[in-house]
Amino acid sequence: MGLGGRVHKYGDHVDTDVIIPARYLTTSDEQELAAHCMEDLDPEFANQVQSGDVIVAGVNFGCGSSREHAPIAIKASGISCVIAKSFARIFYRNALNIGLPIMECPGFVDGVEAGDEVEADTTGGTVRNLTRDGEGTFPPLTGPAAELVAAGGLVPLVRQRLNAEG
């Protein structure tokens, strides 16, 4: 599957408090969350993000809280995928669970700058920087993570399982 768009570039340890501050956690409405996405790190993000855009970041993206509001806000803002050097584990699980594509590509990130056009081929396992001619690969998901993505997320996967059990 092909995804891609304009890059929003961030550094290391982008934590869930800057992705969606706790003052907004008394709602779970996707559009309200999207309106405040990345607010304390990049106040212009919510205004400037366009559907299909990509977040590219350093190590440990999504560290901190387990708040699922974080990947929800990112996905609802129109971001098509997040490419990072590494992901914090709860954010990683949450993103797969809700169908936000995430890719670990440590070698690719440093060559990308804000505003570049980047595309990702999740089937082939490659990412490409169309502005600067960079390329990277990421390993295919295995085991339960692969099943999750194939099912379209954890809700459909569990629904299938519960239906099968009758």
Partner 1 sequence: MAGMTITEKLLARASGRDSVRAGDFVSAKLTLVLANDITAPIAVRGFRKMGAGRVFDRAKIALVADHSTPNKDIAAAEQVKVMREFARDQEIVHYYETAAGIEHILLPDRGLVLPGDCVIGADSHTCTYGAITAFSTGVGSTDCAAGMATGECWFRVPETLKFVFEGSPQPWVGGKDLILYTLGQIGVDGALYRAMEFHGSAIRSLDMAGRFTMCNMAVEAGGKNGLVPFDEVTKAYVDQRASREYVVLDPHADAEYAHVYEWDASVIEPQVAVPFLPSNARGVSELKDIVIDQAVIGACTNGRIEDLRQAAAILRGRKVAPRVRCIIIPGTHDIHLQATQEGLVELFLEAGAAVSTPTCGPCLGGHMGILASGERAIATTNRNFVGRMGHPKSEVYLASPAVAAASAVCGRICGPEDVK
Nearer to partner 1, 21 or 111 (CB): 21
C-alpha–C-alpha distance, residues 107 and 31, integer Å: 33
Q: Report the 10 Å Cβ neighbour count for 143.
A: 7
From 73, 102, 103, 96, select the one nearest 152 (Cα to Cα). 96
Partnered with residue 134 across adjacent β-strands are 129
Residue selected from 47, 51, 162, 166 as contacting partner 1 according to rule CB under 8 A:
162
C-alpha–C-alpha distance, residues 118 and 24, integer Å: 30
Nearer to partner 1, 9 or 157 (CB): 157
Enter the tokens of residue 87.
């992901």
Binding letters toward partner 1, positions 63-102, x by CB under 8 A: xxxxxxx--x-------------x-xxx--xx--xx----
Nearer to partner 1, 21 or 125 (CB): 21
Enter the tokens of residue 63.
């560290």
Q: Give residue for tokens 């891609």.
A: 4
Q: Which of residues 115-134 bind partner 1 (CB under 8 A)?
A: none
Residue selected from 22, 114, 130, 150 as contacting partner 1 according to rule CB under 8 A:
22
Nearer to partner 1, 69 or 129 (CB): 69
Q: Where are the alpha helices (DSSP H) in 82-152?
A: 89-98, 106-109, 143-151
Q: Applying CB under 8 A, does 31 fall inside the site for partner 1? A: no
**Binding interface with partner 1 (CB under 8 A):** 13, 15, 17-18, 21-23, 25-28, 39-41, 59-60, 63-69, 72, 86, 88-90, 93-94, 97-98, 143-144, 153-155, 158-159, 161-163
